[in-house]
Amino acid sequence: MLSIGAVAAAAGVTPRVVRYYEQSGLLASERTAGGQRRYPESAIERVEFIQHLIRAGLTTEVIRDQLSCVNSRVATPDTIEKLRAQREHIARRAAELNSMEQRIADLIDAAHDSISAEDAASAHSHIATRARG
Amino acid sequence: MLSIGAVAAAAGVTPRVVRYYEQSGLLASERTAGGQRRYPESAIERVEFIQHLIRAGLTTEVIRDQLSCVNSRVATPDTIEKLRAQREHIARRAAELNSMEQRIADLIDAAHDSISAEDAASAHSHIATRARG
DNA sequence: GTAGAACATGACGCTAGTGTCACGGTCAAG
DNA sequence: CTTGACCGTGACACTAGCGTCATGTTCTAC
């Protein structure tokens, strides 16, 4: 059994985040006699999964519903419909991000050009240097 | 020149949000003699762009730097490096989203199977019905 | 059994955003 | 020149998803 610090470190978050997830009903924990949280290994992946979903723009409330279905291994048609909606939501976000990436790539190109125009030799070498990093 | 209400409506936000962006230094406006904000058509796209960047996980502070560079049409190597970092950030988010979409798709399939196993005939027809919606 | 790291709980702050209220000024139509 | 919709500033409250601090308890290793 893992401590909250171990789970948090492995998942790349702070203990605060793990407690917040528990408080939000996304994550359960056992307790020691002294009241400290203990988790199975699987909690690490679960925290990472939740993080991804949150970054995808889903709220903890929405995630709670989905995870409870995954936990209980019981899915109603309603749940499936929700999952489907979330999938669309995520797909839209992904499309937005791809478009943003393209726009930023264009900005980089434009900036690159403007620098080349201003100060071709030195700036260009700067860019070349940083482009590898 | 557009009023704040026109820009907000076209960008799918409230005037409050537009003012908030101006207050955050993300958006400039001209003023009428009476002090009301007037915007060029391009402000609509700009507000949408800012919205996308915020949803991509960038802070207003970070966005402000980038946009100021875009505005002034002057880019330092440092700015380019930041843009590049942001692009990577966004690309990572996009990759996460794609992975999430796949996982949710798997959940949908799994849920579909579990329902089929539980109550093949009726539940299956439910899913088929909703799948078209 | 004691030091000190880690943990528990609770509270407050932050950002991005929404809503709302106040109170007054502006703009465009008539 | 009035009417009414819209806009201005400012303020306050609330949300999610955390960071951070305060204060006290538990765990672990020596």
Q: How far apart (Å, rounded) are the C-alpha atoms in residues B25 and B45?
A: 16
pLDDT in tens, B47-70: 998 888 888 878 787 888 777 666
Task: Read off the DSSP letter of residue B82.
Answer: H
Our measurement of the distance from residue A97's CA atom to the centroid of its chain's CA atoms, rounded to an integer in Å, reads: 14
Higher local confidence (pLDDT), B16 or B120:
B16
Which has the closest alpha carbon to A11: A46, A38, A37? Answer: A46
pLDDT recorded at residue A69: 67
Q: How far apart (Å, rounded) are the C-alpha atoms in residues B22 and B61?
A: 12
Query: Nearest CB to A93: which of B55, B86, B87?
Result: B55
Sort out which chain B residues have CB atoms less than 8 A from A57's CB and list them. 55
Ranked by mean pLDDT, the top range of A116-125, B51-60, B107-116 is: B51-60
Strand C contact residues in chain A (62-101), C-beta within 7 Å:
none
Least confident of A13-17, A30-34, B53-57: B53-57
Q: Is the pLDDT of residue A127 over 70?
A: no
pLDDT recorded at residue B114: 65
Strand C contact residues in chain B (6-45), C-beta within 7 Å:
13-14, 16-17, 20-21, 24, 32-36
Q: Report the nucleotide nearest the CA of residue A53, measured to C1'.
A: D17
pLDDT recorded at residue B76: 72
pLDDT in tens, A89-112: 888 889 888 988 888 888 888 776
3-state SS assignment for residue A81: helix
Longest dimension (CA), chain B: 71
**SS3 breakdown of chain B: % helix, strand, coil, rounded to 5?**
75, 5, 20
Q: How far apart (Å, rounded) are the C-alpha atoms in residues A107 and B83?
A: 8
Nucleotides of D under 7 A from a protein CB: 6-9, 16-21, 25-28
Query: Nearest CB to B107: which of A83, A115, A130?
Result: A83
